[in-house]
Structure 1
Amino acid sequence: MRIIKPCTYTVLSLALASVTQMTMAQDAHRSMPMSAQHESPSHDSSHQVMQIGIESSQMEHPAEHAEHAEHAEHAEHAEHANASSIASRAASAQHPVDHKREHGGQIYQATEIDSRWLNNADGRGRLKTEIESRIGTDENKLFIKLHADKAESQDADYAAQVMYSRMISDFWDAQIGARYRVDEHQVTDKEQLDAVVGLHGLAPYFFKTDAYLYFGTDKQVSFSLETERDLLLTQKLILKPYLNLDVVLSDDSAYAQKTGLSAVWLGLETRYEINKKLMPFIDVAYSYEKGNQHTARQAETGSEKQWWYGVGLRLKF
């Protein structure tokens, strides 16, 4: 008797199992309907194989697939943003907006009247009145300034100033115009007309400032500076130090003033704002006036220094 080796036995067993499986598959195929026999499972099988391959690829390289998905999302977002920007620019071109009408283009008007009665140490009184009115926009305005100064038992001096004001920075306007003045103390040439150029605005540390150069006949050239600042003690009680000075640069007129620093007013005003339209105040000031030089029409006068104190009323509307 011949003995079969184990490996030969294994091969024979596998061959027998394969023949048996093929025979059973043929019998099942004969028992299936004809329509089912023509259906091919190749598509489903290939689809499943592809799906398994994709899933295995994603499992093998998850970071790479996530990066591709993120790039696709950013590209889509950028495309939508560009489309929205183009649409917005097209709408703006069709319907332009005038921002000046929203802010800065409005025409407004403001007027301030300042009247004060002052007395010196000798008991002599003096009435000083200032009126300032402006109308226009933030960029272009018309300024009108009126000044009256009347000492007790004397005729009053008047001055009217009209200027065009143009904004040149956030806090400054350049101004140009003319000044008409009347001096009743003079026998002749009582009326004078001067050209004016200057600056109006807010200096550092909130000092409201007006600085002007005046050019008149007979080589009359002068400079004036007015500056002031509000210091709030309360919302209604306010201190205001102020400085007004005049400098004569040249003067060959019949009633010439001495060149150099001609007049200075240094004062402290304390006002109470009943409201933003009605504001009474008290005022204490120190003044210096250099005097007139000797000419054919007048005698030379010396300088005067004195203290002034008084009350006043300011109106705004």
Structure 2
Amino acid sequence: MRIIKPCTYTVLGLALASVTQMTMAQDAHHSMLMSAQHESHSSHDSSHQEIQTAIESSQMEHTAEHAEHAEHAEHANASSIASRAASAQHPVDHKREHGGQIYQATEIDSRWLNNADGRGSLKTEIESRIGTDENKLFIKLHADKAESQDADYAAQLMYSRMISDFWDAQIGARYRVDEHQVTDKEQLDAAVGLHGLAPYFFETDTYLYLGTDKQVSFSLETERDFLLTQKLILKPYLNLDVVLSDDSAYAQKTGLSSVWLGLETRYEINKKLMPFIDVAYSYEKGNQHTAWQAETGSEKQWWYGAGLRLKF
């Protein structure tokens, strides 16, 4: 019995020690879990607080930016109103930027033509214009001198006003000198017409002339450029005159009075110097019988020759 009791005490002591260690381990594990959960909650609360802070900061920045845009828009509106008020008080003239500048251009065209009979004729035309895109002054000079004959002259002064993108209306006067006539060598006609670009790029001049002795006539000149190269250019052209009435001493027959239909081939050395060759077909109806002239018949003939055009 004395031997059994010490053993029993020893076993009981070991069992108590094991239970104590297990209890301590469980307490430590529980403490660790509680600490981890506390840290997790703390971290979550911290992250939530940071997100809330960022949202509040973004809202404050957006509010500040919106206020800045509103202030800028208000300033821009005030500036626009002030600018319109200043423009109303002091209007800006934009004519120089939109066709208001004055320019000048002159073209001289001289050609020598021969017919099938070998008779030659020198034809010279000078056209000068000065003004703006809207208002221009046209000066046209024409001289026609057949071989071994006196020359005929015509000078035309026209005021030109733009009425559309491609057309000008013109009004003015024409002065004529015909050395073949014994009387009424000088004539003055009123003139109205159109100058511009017809469809398909036909440059066109058309005029109605009103003179003394019921002289009423109509003229049409049209031409178009076809580029073979940048310098070699074909230009078909048509010039015609129609006499509507004429009771003068040297009256022409009414109706289609004359037609020139030609083809010009020019070479542009530059934009100022352009030689060319010309082939044309002409029709002349002739004159009426009057006390000062005998009636003449119509003439049809071919012409060929060369010329030079200058632009400056």
Q: Normalising by structure 2, report the TM-score.
A: 0.77
Structure 2 vs 1, CA of residues 14 and 100 (structure 1 numbering), >3 Å: closer, same or farther? farther
| SS of aligned partner of 1:32 | helix
Tell me, in whole angstroms, the C-alpha distance in 1 between the residues paired with 2:74 and 2:2: 82
| SS of aligned partner of 2:282 | strand
User: How far 1:92 moved relative to its partner?
Assistant: 3.0
Tell me, in whole angstroms, the C-alpha distance in 2 between the residues paired with 1:88 and 1:2: 121
Q: Normalising by structure 1, report the TM-score.
A: 0.76
User: How far 1:172 moved relative to its partner?
Assistant: 1.1
Listed one character per residue, the Cα deviations across residues 250-271 of structure 1 (whole Å, up to 9, x for unaligned) are 0001110000000000000000
Tell me, in whole angstroms, the C-alpha distance in 1 between the residues paired with 2:257 and 2:293: 17
In structure 1, runs of 5+ residues without a counterpart are 60-66
User: How far 1:3 moved relative to its partner?
Assistant: 47
User: How far 1:156 moved relative to its partner?
Assistant: 0.7
Higher mean C-alpha displacement, 306-315 vs 69-78 = 69-78
User: How far 1:36 moved relative to its partner?
Assistant: 34
Listed one character per residue, the Cα deviations across residues 256-301 of structure 1 (whole Å, up to 9, x for unaligned) are 0000000000000000000111000000001001000111111111
Q: Which residue of 2 aligns with 1:190?
A: 185
User: How far 1:33 moved relative to its partner?
Assistant: 38
Query: Aligned pair count?
Result: 310
Tell me, in whole angstroms, the C-alpha distance in 1 between the residues paired with 2:79 and 2:19: 70
Structure 2 vs 1, CA of residues 283 and 55 (structure 1 numbering), >3 Å: closer, same or farther? closer
User: How far 1:8 moved relative to its partner?
Assistant: 45
Listed one character per residue, the Cα deviations across residues 87-122 of structure 1 (whole Å, up to 9, x for unaligned) are 332343455321012231211111100000001111
Q: Which residue of 2 aligns with 1:44?
A: 45
Tell me, in whole angstroms, the C-alpha distance in 2 between the residues paired with 1:227 and 1:56: 77
User: How far 1:32 moved relative to its partner?
Assistant: 34
Aligned-CA RMSD value:
9.3
In structure 2, runs of 5+ residues without a counterpart are none
Larger radius of gyration: 2
Tell me, in whole angstroms, the C-alpha distance in 1 between the residues paired with 2:198 and 2:114: 31
Tell me, in whole angstroms, the C-alpha distance in 2 between the residues paired with 1:123 and 1:21: 144
2:276 paired residue among 278, 281, 284: 281
Tell me, in whole angstroms, the C-alpha distance in 2 between the residues paired with 1:291 and 1:257: 6
Structure 2 vs 1, CA of residues 78 and 292 (structure 1 numbering), >3 Å: closer, same or farther? same
Listed one character per residue, the Cα deviations across residues 124-182 of structure 1 (whole Å, up to 9, x for unaligned) are 10100000011111111111100000111111110011111111111111111111101
Q: Is the Cα–Cα contact under 8 Å of residues 29 and 37 in structure 1 kept in the other structure?
A: no
Listed one character per residue, the Cα deviations across residues 180-231 of structure 1 (whole Å, up to 9, x for unaligned) are 1011111111111100111111111111110000000000000000001111
Structure 2 vs 1, CA of residues 7 and 279 (structure 1 numbering), >3 Å: closer, same or farther? farther
User: How far 1:80 moved relative to its partner?
Assistant: 4.7
